[in-house]
Chain A
Amino acid sequence: MEFFNNQNPHLTEDEAELYDRQIRLWGIEAQQRMRNSNILIVGMRGLSNEVCKNLVLAGVGAVTILDYQIVTEEDFGAQFFLRVEDLGKNRAIAAAVRVRELNPRVAVTAETDNLLLQSEEFLQKFDVICLTNCDISTLIKADNLCRKFEKKFYAASAHGLFGYIFCDLKQHEYIVERKEIKSGREDPEVKRTKKYLEYVSLGTALSKNDWSAVPFRKLRKVSPLLWANQILWKFQEIEGRLPIQDEDKDFAKLKSLRDTYLPSMGVEPSLLANELLSIISRNLNAELSPVCAIVGGILAQDILKGLSQKDLPINNFFFYNGLDGSGLVYQVEPEKAIF
């Protein structure tokens, strides 16, 4: 087993053979950067199963999986790293066994103490921190810590037919390669351009209240999941939990939040219809494998882009809507256009 802190910082011949098909896509340099990276994944449910799988197959240096909960029957529904005999075990420990089998070259660690998320010493080790299925206050705290230590921060969740991703990559430099076909030669020339993005924190993004500056015809087309997400987080902030399915009082609260909170941001409440709000706020705890696969695939690829500093990453929100199949990216930032 080769651990990520092994002597040779460069790709070995064996690794080149294993990763051949992806090296041909993103190049040796990008592969090298991935190989030398350390990633923390918080929460090990269906979505993180997908993210872990994708990152480990890609050959990142090390992955730490943090989850304090134990495996229940429903977990088998969307988590392919679990086996029947794992019932009652800690989710991270159980899954880590199979994650290692996927690629023995990646150092995989399981942690079960949620308090670690508040430990600066713990978080310092990582290059990327990704929180899944976490509540809004945890997300905000973690993001602020990441900013303090210049770590790349991702938050994501998949529930029912929906999912979101949020990225805070601080100051991010990356290159874009374009193939230009010069006349006379059949081989295209590769042109590299350096680019730079500046991200805002989750707190700052959610404080955007100048939505009325966006022309209504554009605002109308924005995914209603953007509004729904904000309302659910607001609910969570106030009530300390997510709304309970089929609980009329909770749904009434959601609606009233929509009708007061959205306008305070400059958003017409009618942009989030009752029916959609109802569908979205059901199954908040339930994951569906194909949705995890779609959101997890896009999230993992974005993490890899961030690590390799190649190609345009998500800036800063992504919403997947399984009802219409759309996957939309918006830049949610005060005083900035959304796309």
Chain B
Amino acid sequence: MSRNSHIENILGPSLYEIVLTSRVLVVGAGGIGCELLKNLVLSGFRLIELVDLDTIDLSNLNRQFLFQKQHIKKSKAHVAKESALKFNPNVEIISHHANIKDPQFNVDWFKRFNIVMNALDNLEARRYVNSMCLAANVPLVESGTEGYLGQVTVIKKDMTECYDCQPKPMRKTYAVCTIRSTPISPIHCIVWAKSYLFSQLFGISEEEEDSPIQESNSENAEEIENLREETEALKQIRLAMGTSEYPRKVFQKVFTEDIQRLLMMEDMWKTRQRPVPLKYEDLEQIPCEGEDEIETNDSNTLKNQRTWSLRENFDVFIRSLKSLSARLLEEQKIKPDALLSFDKDDSDALNFVTATSNLRARIFGIEEKSIFQVKAMAGNIIPAIATTNAVIAGIIVIQSFNILKGRLDECKTIYLDGVRRPNLLPSESLKTPNLNCAVCRNSHFILKINTKVATLRDFVEKILCNHNIGGLDYGDVTVEEGASLLYDVEYDDNLDVTFEQLKITDGKLIRVTSEEDQSNHEPAIFAISHRESFNSPNDWYEIEGEVLGISSPNTKDQDFKPAPTLKRKLEAYAELEETSSALKRVQLDSEIIVPDDEIIMTEYGLDEQSDDKSGFS
């Protein structure tokens, strides 16, 4: 009997064998990641890679159990690995303290895995991994948790919806007049303090793309003009940073003069409560309470959960303004264009935002908030506990077993919400891809090329236009990378620039759309893999992907994969008929059965090159 005896008995010899030899990637070593790594290491997996760019923080320790106090500030990925090895030393874990978007994790790197599991907490990284898994054609288990809620789903190219098939909710934005002129709620004051005042005084300008303050055309044009003048005036005052007069000047501008200016707009206050400006001299004269007196008797309330008095807000405003100003000026001595950005764990910044937000709230008769509450709202804190992450991570592994034994039909989207009865884990069948998805409804190729030497012209004129890829005669094309247009019929400035100079390197994806007869030609996505040399001296690129049976002198024989003929394609579908209705929908609903000259192909285990263990065996 060994440590794996029970595991082998439960999984059965054939699945156990697959698990032993599967290489898995875990993206993220936080709440879900720690639990997931533990489960994998105790389920027979022996080849695990783990990527996380973060370091350990005290607030992680209530749930990320592979970390303890002595690990604070160290790399999550490395410490997670060390902790896991303690309870199973017989596993190979490769940990990367890095960003999953780093070029070293290119599409070839992703292809090495039999399965990828996300344990992320942000949209951007999820999108990125989704794209890479589509490009590499590796199954992806996607998951997320928030408080008591959690969910797990499976993404497999051409078989299921990808992460971007359904639109994701946009970040909350606020109209500029609500923030700058007519706030109603505490959050409006906090956004003002963080994204307007803090930014104007210390940091990035509000014209930044990801500011939550949005201008719209329907706003009062006169008011917009007034606000612009106000911002300009504040910029002028900023020049006095560091002087003893600075706090008074800032205070008088934003809490007195700007409010007096607003009061002159009579119409604005016809139905709204009029704001009451604060006067610096008045606040200076409020008596200071001693520390002991302001401690409440109710020891149930923690220090940071108490709302401050007007005098306290005033004092904290001045103190934090001086601290932040001094810090910025110091940094500017070394780097003249230095800026400070808001960080919820920076106590000066948090104090500043809390105090100024409360002063503004006082002016407008809005409820004031404690620093505990402001931290959550300004810092976008998501409450998190160990149990939700533990359950979700367990579900991820159970789903992985189904994927690895080739039973995608047994995978589902599973939810956890704790309140539902009788099913605590409601589930839905996986959905077929959204036919209009700009991300997954593409032909995916891997382009191996010397990015230092090859130019865009080489790509457009020699690879795309003269070479029939997948039977599509690309003709006139549009080439994009992310949101940038690289080339189209009217924009040829970049043709003689190298890939590297255009920043199209490892990890990048370029999208090619044919201008000709759009309806029959699917866009193609090329995942870039930098190569300095190829097997034969005459070759300068290689393409992997759905290539129809047309060879070219430019590709190596072994990279050339004859695509299954239509007849073989239909045989593959016939096999699928026997599996469940979820898969049947793939054939029937998504119109994948298409005329002969189309190349929409998926790899139904007919591709020997890729280690597609998730084929239907």
Q: Which of A21, A46, A338 contacts B385 (CB 8 A)?
A: A21
B59 touches A283 (CB 8 A): no
B42 touches A80 (CB 8 A): yes
Q: Which residues of chain B have C-beta atoms less than 8 A from A283's C-beta?
A: 6, 9-10
**A16-B302, A288-B6 given; A297·B62 CB < 8 A:** no
B385 touches A58 (CB 8 A): yes
B384 touches A74 (CB 8 A): no
A298 touches B87 (CB 8 A): no
Does B99 sit at the interface, judged by CB under 8 A?
no
Which of the candidate stretches B332-340, B422-430, B556-564 sits at the interface with the other chain? B422-430
Minimal beta-carbon separation of A45 from chain B (angstroms): 10
Does B184 sit at the interface, judged by CB under 8 A?
yes
Q: Which residues of chain B have C-beta atoms less than 8 A from A18's C-beta?
A: 58-59, 61-62
Minimal beta-carbon separation of B261 from chain A (angstroms): 25
What separation, in Å, do the CA atoms of A15 and B272 have in the docked complex? 43
Does B513 sit at the interface, judged by CB under 8 A?
no
Q: Which residues of chain A have C-beta atoms less than 8 A from B419's C-beta?
A: 311-312
- Residue of B9, B184, B367 contacting most chain A CB atoms (<10 Å): B9
A17 touches B59 (CB 8 A): yes
What separation, in Å, do the CA atoms of A50 and B390 have in the docked complex? 8
**A318-B424, A326-B427 given; A10·B300 CB < 8 A:** yes
Does A219 sit at the interface, judged by CB under 8 A?
no
* CB neighbors of A among B176-199 (8 A): 184-188
B425 touches A326 (CB 8 A): yes
Q: Which residues of chain B have C-beta atoms less than 8 A from A11's C-beta?
A: 302
Which of the candidate stretches B46-54, B392-400, B438-446, B466-474 sits at the interface with the other chain? B392-400
Q: Which residues of chain A have C-beta atoms less than 8 A from B218's C-beta?
A: none
B38 touches A19 (CB 8 A): no
Does B104 sit at the interface, judged by CB under 8 A?
no
What separation, in Å, do the CA atoms of A147 and B184 have in the docked complex? 53
**A28-B300, A291-B398 given; A74·B1 CB < 8 A:** yes
> How many residues on the B side are at the interface (Cβ–Cβ under 8 A)?
70
Minimal beta-carbon separation of A109 from chain B (angstroms): 20
* CB neighbors of A among B289-314 (8 A): 299-305
> How many residues on the A side are at the interface (Cβ–Cβ under 8 A)?
73
Q: Which residues of chain B have C-beta atoms less than 8 A from A291's C-beta?
A: 394, 398
B62 touches A74 (CB 8 A): no
Does A161 sit at the interface, judged by CB under 8 A?
yes
Q: Which of A290, A300, A325 contacts B393 (CB 8 A)?
A: A290
**A16-B304, A187-B185, A325-B427 given; A290·B383 CB < 8 A:** no
Does A266 sit at the interface, judged by CB under 8 A?
no
Minimal beta-carbon separation of A148 from chain B (angstroms): 30
Does B610 sit at the interface, judged by CB under 8 A?
no
Q: Which residues of chain A have C-beta atoms less than 8 A from B59's C-beta?
A: 17-18, 20-21
What separation, in Å, do the CA atoms of A25 and B147 have in the docked complex? 6
Does A59 sit at the interface, judged by CB under 8 A?
yes
Minimal beta-carbon separation of A224 from chain B (angstroms): 14
B381 touches A21 (CB 8 A): yes
4 more contacts with CB within 8 A, not counting A301-B387, A311-B419, A329-B424, are A58-B62, A286-B10, A288-B10, A293-B391
Enumerate 28 A-B pairs (CB-CB under 8 Å) in ascending A order: A18-B58, A21-B63, A21-B381, A21-B383, A22-B384, A25-B147, A28-B302, A57-B63, A57-B65, A77-B6, A78-B6, A83-B87, A102-B65, A186-B187, A283-B10, A289-B39, A289-B397, A293-B39, A294-B395, A294-B398, A297-B391, A298-B424, A300-B387, A311-B418, A312-B421, A318-B424, A325-B425, A326-B427
What 7 A-B pairs have minimum CB-CB distances, sorted nearest first?
A293-B394, A286-B6, A25-B383, A289-B42, A297-B390, A327-B425, A297-B391
What is the interface of chain B, defined by CB distance below 8 A to chain A? Answer: 1-7, 9-11, 35, 38-39, 42-43, 58-59, 61-63, 65, 68, 86-89, 147-148, 184-188, 299-305, 367, 376, 381-391, 393-399, 412, 414, 418-419, 421-425, 427
